[in-house]
Amino acid sequence: MRHPSDNGFAERRTAAAEAKRQLLAKFASAPKPTDPEMQEKLAAREAVAQAREARRAEREAQKQAEHDRILAEAAAVAAAAEQEQRAEAEARQAEIAERVSRVVADEAARKAERDRRYAARKARQR
């Protein structure tokens, strides 16, 4: 017993040919690139693409400006830190120099006091 949906080879072949004809008819009725409607769509796509490119370029410029600002800020912070370190080093050097001068002055004072006592002792012995 044959099913009504059981198509034979000839029926399948005619169905495939009909599908191809319908597909060709669809493409034949499609608008051509020279049609004003297609020209309008193409111009709209081009305008969208140009706007997109302009926005991308603007974003890139903003990113570059932000990057440059961050670099400048980091350079300023580094310069300030370096200046601060230099000032601290100079302050340490000045403190060390003052301590050394005090030690030298104290030694000179002790030596002068020792020499004075020695001279006084020699003067008493004579």
CB of 25 within 8 A of CB of 17?
A: no
Residues 6+ apart with CB under 8 A from 64: none
Instruction: Report d(CA 105, CA 98) in Å as an integer.
Output: 10
pLDDT score recorded for residue 108: 94
Instruction: Report d(CA 43, CA 47) in Å as an integer.
Output: 6
pLDDT score recorded for residue 1: 45
Helices (H), 7-35: 9-29
CB of 65 within 8 A of CB of 72?
A: no
pLDDT score recorded for residue 45: 95
Helix (H) or strand (E) holding 5: none
Instruction: Report the Cα–Cα distance between both ends of the chain, in Å, rounded.
Output: 159
CB of 24 within 8 A of CB of 17?
A: no
Q: Give the pTM.
A: 0.48
The vertex-33 CA angle with 30 and 35, nearest 5°, equals 80
Which stretches in the chain have pLDDT values below 70?
1-7
